[in-house]
Amino acid sequence: MSFDFNASDYKIFGDSNVYTIARAVVRSRGELKASGFPLSLVRPLASANEFYSPFYSVVEGQMVITDPKIRERLTGSVCDSEGRVFKPNGSVWFFSGGFHTLTFLNSKRWDTHRHWRVTHKPILPPVSDAVFAAMVLDINGEFLNFLSDATSLGHSVAVLSSPPPTERFVTRMWSAPIEWSDMNVSAWSVFGLSGRCFWALVDGIPERCAA
């Protein structure tokens, strides 16, 4: 989908990642005003988890925000007090709605199964590429449906990807030596099969490493 970046209005909203954008907007308020960039809304609405469950409906061509908290925070800018989304008016929505791996990879399902590419000791039932893809689509199904319904009703919507980790994650840095080299690999998180085997980026390339 292409967007008119000369639109009359832009709105940014969604999960907690929008807080990072909101802080940047506050710091750049003067520059934005001077440029005339028509950004009318930057608003966090809810945690990513709340976009995995039903938060809207479409009835006879009318989109309605049904989640009370999300509805309240969009009232006046995207919908009315009853949650009825305003008709398309040329504005562009940038929506951050949970498209990241944290919730998915933290799932308890990985206590009993593994993707077939990383099955090692202890041996766990493998998950195929097709099943893995279906799992990803399942957890993000509600948000994907929202994007599809919004665009079919004439709204211009773009998805915001999650920003890099902020300073509050610095204390979570973790590193370990790779046994067969002198390198140390640092990672924000570790996804592995035991204390001795994990995946990490080495010069930007995912490698299976041993600690």
Q: What is the pLDDT of residues 41-73, one digit of tens each?
A: 899 999 888 998 999 999 999 999 999 999 999
pLDDT in tens, 169-200: 444 444 444 443 444 444 444 444 444 455 55
- 139, pLDDT greater than 60: yes
Hey, what are 23's tokens? Answer: 């802080």
The answer to whether residues 148 and 202 belong to one domain is no
SS3 53: coil
Q: What pLDDT does 12 receive?
A: 92
CA dihedral sign, ordered 14, 170, 104, 53: negative
Hey, what are 104's tokens? Answer: 């998915």
CA distance 133 to 116: 13
The answer to whether residues 152 and 178 belong to one domain is no
- Give the bridge partners for 75, in sequence order: 79
The answer to whether residues 84 and 152 belong to one domain is yes
CA distance 58 to 76: 19
- Output the 3-class SS for 86-150: CCCCCCEEEEECCCCCHHHHCCHHHHCCEEHHHCCCCCCCEECHHHHHHHHHHHCHHHHHHHHHH
CA distance 88 to 91: 7
The answer to whether residues 126 and 81 belong to one domain is no
The answer to whether residues 130 and 144 belong to one domain is no
Percent with pLDDT over 70 in the chain: 68
pTM for this structure? 0.68
The answer to whether residues 39 and 78 belong to one domain is yes
Phi-psi region of 209 (alpha: psi -120 to 50; beta: other; left: phi over 0): beta
The answer to whether residues 181 and 198 belong to one domain is yes
Our measurement of the distance from residue 172's CA atom to the centroid of its chain's CA atoms, rounded to an integer in Å, reads 20
Q: What pLDDT does 162 receive?
A: 65
Percent with pLDDT over 90 in the chain: 31
The answer to whether residues 85 and 117 belong to one domain is no
Calculate the average pLDDT of the chain: 76
Q: What is the DSSP letter of 63?
A: E
Length of the chain: 211
Query: What Rg do the C-alpha atoms of the chain give, in angstroms?
Result: 21
Choice between 75 and 210, residue whose per-residue pLDDT is larger? 75
Domain that holds residue 52: 1-99+140-163
Domain count, the chain: 3
